[in-house]
Structure 1
Amino acid sequence: MKTSAPKPKSSDVSTMSSATKSYWAQWDSLLIQDGVLCRKWENVLGDSCHLQMVVPMAKVLDVLQLYHNGCSGGHLGVKRTLLKIRERFYCVHCRDDVEDWCRKCTSCAAVKGPQTRSRGALKLYNVGAPWERIAIDVAGPFLESESGNKYFMVVMDYFTTWPEVFVITNQEASTVANKLFYEVFCRFGVPLEINSDLQRNLESQIFQEICRVMGTHKTRTTSYHPQFDGMVERFNQTLERYLAKVVEKRQ
C-alpha cells in the first residue's frame, strides 16, 4: 500500500496467515495516513465513518492493558471494552483477544465474584420528567485523598438514571446540603422529591429546612430495606468495585 500497488491476487496470499488474508479481504477499506496503516470503519447505519489505527500483533497486549486495566478503563466487561477499543483501533480477532483478556484478569475475578440474583418483588415508581425525583446517598468513609476527601455523595435522577458523584470531606448535613444546592439545584433545577435512606445527616433539621424552603418533598427508605432505593445502592456497588480494582496494593 505504501507503493500504491494494486490489490494482490488471491493466489498470492493463499499460503499466508489468516490475519493476512483478513486484511487482504479488507483492502479497499485500508489506507496509509501519516505513515500509519488505518482502516475505514462505518457504523451500522452507514451514516458516519472514522479511521481506526491497525494495531500490530506486538502491540495488542499494550492496547488491552490500557483500555481494560488502566484507570480510565475501569475493568469494564467484554462488550464495553470492545466498544472503547474499536473507537480508535482495529486488529484481526479483536473480540477473541478482549474476551480472553477479560476472562484472565485477576482483578476482575477477585472483585466481581459470582452474581447473585435478587428474588424480591420489585415495583415501578412512575416519574414524568428528568430531575423531577432524585435519589441521594453518601458512601464512605474511604481512604483520605490528598485533598482531604473521604466520602462520595451520589445523586441520581429517577427518570434518566443519570448519576452525579461528588467528593466531600465529611458527611455533615451542612456539607451535603451545600454541595447539593450549588452542584445540583443550580445546574438542573430544584426537584419535586428527594429520596434517601435513614442517614442522620440526611434527616437532620438543617436538611429538612432546606427542603422546606426550596419546596421539595423529602421521602425516605424503610429500615433494613435498601432495595427501596435500589437504583443508587446498585450504582454505589459498581462505583466501589471500580475503586477496588484501581486502588494500589498497599492502599
Structure 2
Amino acid sequence: FHTDPTLCAHLGIYKTKEAIIRRFFWTNMQEDITKFIKECIKCNQRKKDPHNMTVEPGKQFSIPNKPFERVHMDIMGPLPRSCRNNAYVLTMQDAFSKFAITIPIPAISTEIVIDKFLRHLVYIFGPPSRLITDRGSNFMSHKFTDLCKNKGIQHEPTLPHQKNSNGQAERLHRTLEECLTHYVNKDLTDWDLFLPKVT
C-alpha cells in the first residue's frame, strides 16, 4: 500500500495512515504503519533529514475562507526531458483545500502557461480571487498580467530574491520530487507518466 504509486507513493506516516484507514482497520494499526514506514529503505534513502534543512521564513498569508480564494502557481524544473518532450511542471495549488493541479509542459513560455492556467483551472473552477506567483518573465509579461486583470484576478507576485515567499508552491514541489524519485526509470525519462499518480 505504502509503496504503490497509485495509492500512497511512499508518502509519510500521516498521509499513508489516512489512505489506509479509509479501507482497512486492525489492532495496533498506527504502530504497524509507523514501524513499516520508518523501516522503508526507499524512504530513508530519498527523504531529506528535516534536522539538516535550513528553513527560511516565507510570506505569511491570511487563511482563505473558501476554495480557490487564493491559488499558488509556480513552475518546477527544468527536469530531464521526458520521452513525451516535457521538461517542466506547471503547478497550481488551492490554499484552502490544498488541492493541487500539476501539468507537464515542454517549455515555460507565457503562451503555454496561459493556455494551461485557463484550461486546467479557470475554465473548470473559475478564476481565483488571488493568484500568488514568482516574478518569472512568463508571469510578469503583459499578456499574463492583462489576463489576470480581465478575469478579475488579483495577481500578487512575490518579492524579488525571496523564493520562499511562495512557500506553499515550494513545499508542493518538494513533495512531488520525493514521490517521483521512487518510480522513475534510471534515465528519468518517464517522470511525466507518474505525475498524475503522485499529485
SS in structure 1 at match of 2:181 = helix
Could you say which structure has the higher strand fraction?
1
Equivalent position of 2:194 in the other structure: none
1:177 aligns with 2:114: yes
Structure 1 residue runs of 5 or longer lacking an equivalent are: 1-66
Letter in 1 for 2:179: Y
Equivalent position of 1:129 in the other structure: 66
CA distance in 2, matches of 1:95, 1:130: 31
2:171 aligns with one of 204, 222, 234: 234
| TM superposition outliers: structure 1 runs of 4+ over 6 Å | none
Equivalent position of 1:78 in the other structure: 13
* Within-5 A mapping of 1:185-224: 185-224=122-161
Structure 1 residue 81: Cα displacement: 2.5
CA distance in 1, matches of 2:94, 2:109: 22
1:68 aligns with 2:2: yes
Equivalent position of 2:88 in the other structure: 151
Letter in 2 for 1:124: F
Structure 1 residue 83: Cα displacement: 3.9
SS in structure 1 at match of 2:182 = helix
**1:84–1:161 Cα change, 3 Å:** closer
Q: CA RMSD in A?
A: 2.4
With structure 1 as the length reference, what TM-score do the two structures score?
0.64
**1:119–1:193 Cα change, 3 Å:** closer
Letter in 1 for 2:91: V
Query: Larger Cα Rg: Structure 1 or Structure 2?
Result: 1
Structure 1 residue 132: Cα displacement: 2.5
With structure 2 as the length reference, what TM-score do the two structures score?
0.79
**1:81–1:129 Cα change, 3 Å:** closer
Deviation by residue 1:126-166 (Cα, 9 ceiling, x = unmatched): 54432222221011122333332222111122333322212
Letter in 2 for 1:85: I
CA distance in 2, matches of 1:134, 1:143: 27
SS in structure 1 at match of 2:72 = strand
**Highest relative contact order (Cα 8 Å, sep 6+), 1 or 2?**
2
Letter in 2 for 1:68: H
Structure 1 residue 96: Cα displacement: 4.2
Structure 1 residue 102: Cα displacement: 1.4
CA distance in 2, matches of 1:201, 1:121: 22
Letter in 2 for 1:143: P
Deviation by residue 1:17-37 (Cα, 9 ceiling, x = unmatched): xxxxxxxxxxxxxxxxxxxxx
**1:139–1:93 Cα change, 3 Å:** same
SS in structure 2 at match of 1:113 = coil
